[in-house]
Structure 1
């Protein structure tokens, strides 16, 4: 088997194992609405025990699948490349629109809300 075939086989394996992780997360997410860390850990254990995926790879693949699951159905994406320290650039790939959202606005409406004002900074 040549190097290109080995690389393709490895990529196919990772894609299949990530799909298995995604399916597990999707199937069991309702059981862990308040504790997503347990869901993540269970998915890693599932890949390890049921599919013999090494732990380091299982954790990586579950993280990728978890991100994929959380972004499913979300059209809007943060464009990190064009965002700055003061402005978050949010794009909608389906419509081609881009929105510039000041970070101060995000802080004011999501972080500095009355319900969160009682929280103290850590440190």
Structure 2
């Protein structure tokens, strides 16, 4: 088996993630004040219209949302250098590296009263 060619599974995931991204782009102006509704609509679209399993639809919409909101950003997550407890961010333009404990990310982005978690809700 040639490991450089994408598998059918990878092709499917990429196509469905692109469908999620296209949906988010098409409908983002309708939800300027509440991205949670946009996220949920995108998950429902993948699940109901394209018959993507719910768990996978949530995952793919999350990935598409992150890619869409990160366009034009220089910082990148260095997955190889990161660990379960530490995120390593790099700036390819400047060559700088930033190490951020996951606990700090959780404290400032998740464990706050005004947190914005994007997940499918009924």
Using the size of structure 2 for normalisation, the TM-score is 0.64
**Match in the other structure for 2:118:** none
Higher helix share: 1
**CA RMSD after TM alignment:** 3.4
- What is the CA distance between 1:68 and its match in structure 2? 0.7
Contact kept in structure 2, 1:43 and 1:62, CA below 8 Å: yes
Q: Secondary structure at the match of 1:91?
A: strand
- What is the CA distance between 1:17 and its match in structure 2? 0.1
- What is the CA distance between 1:77 and its match in structure 2? 3.0
Q: 2:10 matched to 1:11?
A: yes
> How many residues align structurally?
100
Contact kept in structure 2, 1:17 and 1:47, CA below 8 Å: yes
Q: 2:121 matched to 1:98?
A: no
Q: Secondary structure at the match of 2:96?
A: strand
- Report 1 or 2 for greater relative contact order, CA contacts < 8 Å, sequence distance ≥ 6: 2
Q: 2:31 matched to 1:26?
A: no
- What is the CA distance between 1:50 and its match in structure 2? 1.6
Larger Rg, first or second structure (1 or 2): 1
Q: Which runs of 5+ in 2 are unaligned?
A: 102-107, 114-122
- What is the CA distance between 1:25 and its match in structure 2? 0.7
Q: Which runs of 5+ in 1 are unaligned?
A: 104-110, 112-118
| In 1: Cα distance, 2:53 partner to 2:89 partner | 36
**Match in the other structure for 1:45:** 44
Using the size of structure 1 for normalisation, the TM-score is 0.63
